[in-house]
Amino acid sequence: MAHNITDSFDSYDPIDQDINNEPMILQMGPSHPATHGTVRFTLTLEGEKVLKCETEVGYLHRGFEKECEAATWTQVFPYTDRLNYVSPLLNNFGYALAVEKLLGIEVPDRCNWIRTLMGEISRLSDHLTSIGAGALELNAMTAFLYAIEGRELVWDLIEQVTGARLTVSYGRVGGLKDDLPEGFAENWKYVRARLIEIHAYTNKLLTRNRVFVDRMAGTGVISPEMAISYGYTGPMLRSTGVDYDVRKDHPYFKYGEVDFDVPVGSSGDNFDRYLVRMEELVQSIRIIDQCLERMKPGPINTDDPRVMLPNKERVYNSIEGMIAHFKIVFEGLQVPPGEVYSYTEAGNGELGFYIVSNGTGKPWKIHVRSPSLIMMGGVHKLFEGGLLSDIIPTFDTVNMIGGECDK
Amino acid sequence: MAKKLIDFVQKKFASEVLHTHSRLGNDTVTVKRDKLVEIVRELRDDPSTQMDYLRTITAVDYLPRQPRFELVYVLYSMKHKHMLILRVMLEDSDAVAPSLHTLYGTAGWQEREVWDMYGIRFSGHPDLRRVLLYEEFEGHPLRKDYLKQASQPRVELLARERDSVEEFNIYVNDRPSSGSRDQ
Amino acid sequence: MPKVTINGTEIEVDKGTTILRAAAEAGYEVPHFCYHPALSIPANCRMCLVDVEGAGKLQPACYSQVSDGMVIHTQNERVKKAQKAVLEFILINHPIDCPICDQAGECKLQDYYLAYDAQESRMRAEKVQKVKVYPIGPEVLYDGERCILCTRCIRFCEEITGTNELTLVQRGDRVEVRNFPGRELDNAYSVCTTDICPVGALTSRDFRFKCRVWLLTSTESVCTGCSKGCNIHLEHFRNEIQRYRPRYNPQVNDYWMCDAGRLSYKEVHTDRLLHPMSNGAELNWHAVAETVADKLKRAIDEVGVDKIGLVLSPQASCEDLFLARKFASDVLKTDRLYVGGKPDGNSDDFLINSDKNPNRRGIEAVLGSADGAQPFEQLAADIANGSVQVLYMMDAHMPLDEAAQLRFVESLDKLKLFIFQAQHHGRLSPKAHIALPVCSHAESEGTFINSDGLAQSVQKAFNPAGDSLPHWQVFMRLAQAMNQPFSYTFVHQIQNEMFAARPNSVASGTAEGVPVE
């Protein structure tokens, strides 16, 4: 080697090289064990302090919107299940509501009650997962087990109603797949009692836990103005003190008739988001109780033959039913041309559908305003200025769901 | 309250408004592209409207109709609880719109999504990259002329990635594992 | 010109226009079963009843002509009630056949039921049983229960083919369509009755139970069965043509096509040459192009340029022929061109031409004159007397009678080199030193010029079978291998050059407007 080693060694003065001068670039993800959901942060660190964060999403992109354009209006339901897969019922009903607006049809009273009820049950599963997984990643295994036990109970209920635990496809345009099964109210009573116990245990384990509070309080803070500007909705926005809740402000289904409160935080930090979710669990249980008390027997599907599939007896025994079945299944229901923006409150915030129909059996366009994707657009604001370790609890309370974020 | 927002835009920007309707409870105004930023700023800052929350930005491809694209902005006011949809028509040959990133934090990210999916550019956007797809992706998938079954070219490894793969292969070839049949 | 008001829309139409046509012009659909624009109007289905102010009773829109100042409602309550009643009546005896009916998915009864009726039947009586599979003709089967007695098929046989095979028999709810005793529905256009049948009563034997119609993809194409060039919907599923269906074009075939042409799609999928072969061994395109270049070079050195012949096929598209000619003149440097193709067949005075080659006029257009190429008989003679020793042949067909074909195949043994480029094996591929597979009109784009001089384009429906390529791409590959490459990438580049070379030789034929069917 022609290079003179001693020369270069002489010119190297370790004292001159201050290792803290240059910020460190750290790749976090895409498959980081503490970030549930596949997402990559490119962090610029000064010591442990996060100076800059670049977010990269899309690892779970499945072309939801493109697939929808090739499916009939009814065939979109299974795809919506896979948006926010922790609360698929809310997506189902949100999409059904949008198409019903465009069709200009009303669903029967009982259908609205069941949608309200099942939607809240789904919200329970969403919040329990968020709280449980959040605690787990801060090493609180016990709280996680309680929360997941609660979620299992909720999923058992969902399974009784829909036949599936996760990808339920329970919604239909103009109604539902099926009515509630017999004995649902009794099962709910059992689940309800256990959920209240679980809520109390979790509360005891976490809310006044020194370690938990130190990690959560004062981290991931965002101001109300910033949250609105970045399009934050749901528990994220409410933790900053803005009481925006689609269920309250623009009631749909039966939310206008039931009594519930919208919990709000004050400081917009992780701890407030945790408290808001804890309180929303209680409110959801309240709503479910009222639904079960007030719903009356009756039809669950609209009687418009152009929208609803005829029952099987008619399909097999009359040519009228057979034709209706054939046309709706193979050509899809005919939605009049037009466009509508319809929005509901999903687990993570406002879930909006902007749908365009050209008057055929297939959607011309379905755009989903997924709360997770929009929150990920502003998530760097929560990280920057904080510590590297604070990213873990902050990302938990943001509760990004890969399916919904990446579409 | 129904038509208040439409009237507001029509009064202040009479020459910019192309079309209005309020079907299905969605108050909608179609405006010209050039003064979009001014219109949105006015809607955001005027105390009677205060549209402080940009719900969503999306686009619709109406191929083969001309103008082909339609940009859709859904605005909302947290204070007054009212909503307005702004639409902007874009020609295929000139699919550029002004960016709203100075007005709303969320606009930058959502405009990236529209660029990613529809190939509509946003002038003045500081960082117009793809958001859900990867940089090497060819075409814009939500355009109607992008076939659903279309396949993408294989992305070549970067030189440094290729080196490491080759190094790994050399390493493995030199040292067959203990369970290998070659031994 | 009379001015009429339809549902509040005022519209001026020609004198003698029917209400149905006027409504279509104004943008309103009037449902109808028995009316067909190419047939006479019996007004027997009563589906198209509309309300004409001052007329008292509802009027059939297909039959009634407009008069000045008429006020017509096609969507008011009276009309809707009548439509519901008519559909309920028609469905009384309709069997629950949709799952096993070939028409399901393109059935007017299905469409109209959901659009205009959508209610339950009040009838509780048993449905009348009728014949389910009646062989009404060699290509067509009849299902009496599905029939709604619109008489379109009967009128088709009376008015279009003039063969009068069909009639109605029996009375009341037992009426059926039947052939006259001793006759069958065996005219040359019989399958057209299944197209115009609004329900699944008449079904084609060929297409029966073959594929559900909503799975089909339809591509606009042209029939290659004869030189008439009937416009068709080429309907395919999983890279296989399932059926041809006539496409409306008043300049060529109106709404019809012949049965032979309709079944000519089968050729596309039988006896296909799928891989390039050299003396019976399969090769890839790269290797075979090298082999051809090498063999051609040696053969030319041996026998001289003037002993090379090239057979142009009138089965190929204009683009293919254009490159074939270019290949002959630029690469092979020969002017010994011959015309191949199929031998003549039967003909009639309607749509069937005796020339069974779709693009004979294309050869004339590409060569610039009718006598630029010599007839095939001349080729047989030239091979016999040794003035052609290297033959490059497009297509497996020979315009010769049976005995002459066998003699011709025999005589190919004399050739020094026989390059065979075709879609099918036929009789010639065993004799070929080199066999090159090409694809059908369904697998490539192209232009065909029919016997009336109309240039009609064909769209690519699916990807070529096996290793086959369009003729023009094969010529490109060979020219490349022989170091005289052509600079084309897309078909339209060839088209531009072709039309620039011969601007006035062809007229473009496309159908304008969509008819009410």
Taking the CA of residue A307 and the nearest CA in chain C, the distance in Å comes to: 10
- Start-to-end CA distance of chain B, whole Å, equals 83
Query: Burial level of C247, CB count in 10 A (0-12/13-18/19+)?
Result: buried
Dist. CA A164–CA A168, nearest whole Å: 5
- Interface probe for B, chosen from A103, A242, A360, A374 (most Cβ of B below 10 Å), is A374
Nearest 10 degrees: Cα torsion C431, C434, C437, C438: -100
Q: What is the tens place of the pLDDT at every residue in C240-298?
A: 999 999 999 888 888 999 999 999 999 889 889 999 988 888 888 888 888 888 888 88
Closest chain A residue to C96, measured at CA: A319
Interface contact C94-A305, CB threshold 8 A? no
What average pLDDT does the structure give for chain C? 87
Q: Which of C264, C227, C272 shows the shortest CA–CA distance to C438?
A: C272
User: In tens digits, what is the pLDDT along chain A, a chain of 407 residues?
Assistant: 445 444 555 555 555 555 556 777 888 878 887 777 788 888 888 888 888 888 888 888 888 888 888 888 989 999 998 888 888 999 999 999 999 999 888 899 999 999 999 999 999 999 999 999 888 888 888 989 999 999 999 999 999 999 888 888 898 888 888 888 888 999 999 999 999 999 999 998 888 888 889 888 888 888 898 899 998 998 989 999 888 888 888 888 889 889 998 999 888 888 999 999 999 999 999 999 999 999 888 888 888 888 888 888 888 988 888 998 988 888 888 888 888 999 999 888 899 999 999 888 889 999 999 998 888 888 888 888 888 888 888 888 888 888 888 88
Residues 324-343 of A with CB under 8 A from C: 324, 326-328, 330-331
Q: Strand C454-458 relative to strand C507-508: parallel, antiparallel, unpaired? A: parallel
> What is the per-residue pLDDT for C172?
87
Where do the DSSP E strands lie in chain B? 17-21, 28-31, 53-61, 69-76, 83-90, 96-98, 121-123
Rounded CA-CA distance C223/C221 in Å is 7
Largest CA distance in chain C: 91
Please state the φ and ψ torsions of residue C348, each to the nearest 5 degrees. Answer: -140, -175
> What span, in angstroms and rounded, lies between the C-alpha atoms of C498 and C484?
19
Could you give the CA distance from residue A287 to residue A355 in angstroms, rounded to a whole number?
29
- The answer to whether the CB of B17 falls within 8 A of the CB of B9 is yes
Tokens 């701890």 found at: A271
The total of other beta-carbon atoms located within 10 Å of residue B81's CB is 11
- Calpha distance B111→B125 (Å, rounded): 8
Which tens digit of pLDDT belongs to each residue from B59-99?
998 888 888 899 999 999 888 888 889 899 988 888 888 98
Distance from the Cα of residue C429 to its chain's centroid: 28
B and C in touch (3+ CB pairs within 8 angstroms): no
| Sites in chain B below the pLDDT cut of 50 | 1, 179-183
Where helices occur in A203-318 by DSSP H, the ranges are 210-216, 224-229, 235-238, 246-249, 270-294, 312-317
Residue A9: predicted pLDDT: 52
Contact flag A327-C104 (C-beta cutoff 8 Å): no
Model pLDDT, residue A8: 52
pLDDT of C401 strictly over 60: yes
- List the chains bordering chain C where 3 or more Cβ pairs fall under 8 Å: A
Q: Would you tell me how many other CB atoms lie within 10 Å of the CB of residue C255?
A: 21
Max Cα–Cα distance, chain B, nearest Å: 86
A141-162 and A109-137 helices cross at what angle (nearest 10)?
Answer: 160
**Among candidates C104, C118, C214 on the partner chain, residue whose Cβ is nearest the Cβ of A306:** C118
Average pLDDT of span C337-357 = 89
Q: Do B56 and A367 touch (CB under 8 A)?
A: yes
Joined tokens for residue C367: 């060569």
Q: Which chains contact A through at least 3 pairs of Cβ atoms less than 8 Å apart? A: B, C
pLDDT score, position A385: 84
Which one, of C409, C405, C403, lies nearest residue C391 by Cα? C409
Residue B105 phi, psi dihedral angles, 5° rounding: -65, -35
- The dihedral through the CA atoms of C105, C110, C114, C119 has a sign that is negative
CB contact under 8 A, A322 and C105: no
**Residue A47 region, left (φ>0) first, then alpha (ψ -120 to 50), else beta?**
left
CB contact under 8 A, B134 and A58: yes
Confidence of residue C510 (pLDDT cuts 50, 70, 90): very low
Min Cα–Cα distance to chain C from A67, Å? 18
pTM over 0.80: no
Q: Residue A393: what are its φ and ψ, rounded to 5°?
A: -65, -35
Cβ contact C121–A320 (<8 Å): yes
When scoring A327, A328, A334, A335 by the number of chain C Cβ atoms within 10 A, the one with the most, hence best to mutate, is: A327
Q: Tokens 């923006």 map to which residue?
A: A341
CB within 8 Å: B106 and A374: yes
How many residues make up chain B in this entry? 183
Backbone torsions φ then ψ of C436, nearest 5 degrees: -115, 125
User: How much of chain C exceeds pLDDT 90, in percent?
Assistant: 32
Asked if the Cβ–Cβ distance from A229 to B141 is below 8 Å, we say no
- Helices A270-294 + A109-137 axis angle, to 10: 150
pLDDT at C501 over 70: no
- Of C514, C373, C502, C374, the C-alpha closest to C447 is C502
Burial (CB count within 10 angstroms: exposed 0-12, middle 13-18, buried 19+), residue C180: exposed
Give residue C370's pLDDT band: very low, low, confident or very high (50, 70, 90). Answer: low
**Which 8-state DSSP code applies to residue C362?**
H
- Distance from the Cα of A163 to chain B's closest Cα (Å) equals 31
- Residue whose C-alpha is closest to residue C145's, from C189, C90, C191: C90
Q: Do residues C470 and C439 lie in contact, with contact meaning Cβ atoms separated by under 8 Å?
A: yes
Please answer yes or no on whether A58 and B85 come within 8 Å at the CB atom. no
Angle A139-A140-A143 (CA atoms, 0-180°, nearest 5)?
155
Q: Do the Cβ atoms of C233 and C428 come closer than 8 Å?
A: no
The residues that bridge with C11 in the sheet, in sequence order, are C4
| Chain A CB contacts of C114 below 8 Å | 305-306, 323-324, 327-328
Of the candidates B25, B61, B78, the beta carbon closest to that of A242 is on B78
Please tell me the distance from the alpha carbon of residue C452 to that of residue C68, in angstroms, as a whole number. Answer: 41
**Residue from A77, A101, A75 nearest A89 by CA:** A77
Cα separation, A354 vs C517, whole angstroms: 36
Contact, C405 vs C319, CB < 8 A? no
Question: What is the structure's pLDDT at C509?
Answer: 46
CA distance C252 to C509: 8
* C452 SS3 class: coil
Chosen for mutation from B56, B57, B140 (greatest number of chain A CBs closer than 10 Å) is: B56
Find the chain C residues whose C-beta atoms sit closer than 8 A to any C-beta of A: 91, 94-96, 98-99, 104-105, 109-111, 113-114, 117-121, 214
Q: Is A319 on the interface with C (CB under 8 A)?
A: yes
Lowest mean pLDDT among A72-81, B170-179, C117-126, C411-420: B170-179
Residue of chain A whose alpha carbon sits nearest to that of B56:
A369
CB-based contact, A323 to chain C, within 8 Å: yes
* Kind of pairing between the strands at C217-222 and C231-237: antiparallel
Residue of B24, B87, B114 best to disrupt the A interface, most CBs of A under 10 A: B24
Residues in B touching A376 (Cβ below 8 Å): 109
Predicted pLDDT of residue C511:
41
Give the gyration radius of chain A's Cα atoms.
25
pLDDT at A21: 65
For C480, residues 6+ apart whose C-beta sits below 8 A from its C-beta are C289, C486
> Concatenated DSSP letters for A39-84?
-EEEEEEETTEEEEEEEE--TT---HHHHHHTS-TTTHHHHHHTSS
Distance between CA atoms of A399 and B148, rounded to whole angstroms? 31
Chain B residues touching A249 at Cβ < 8 A: 81
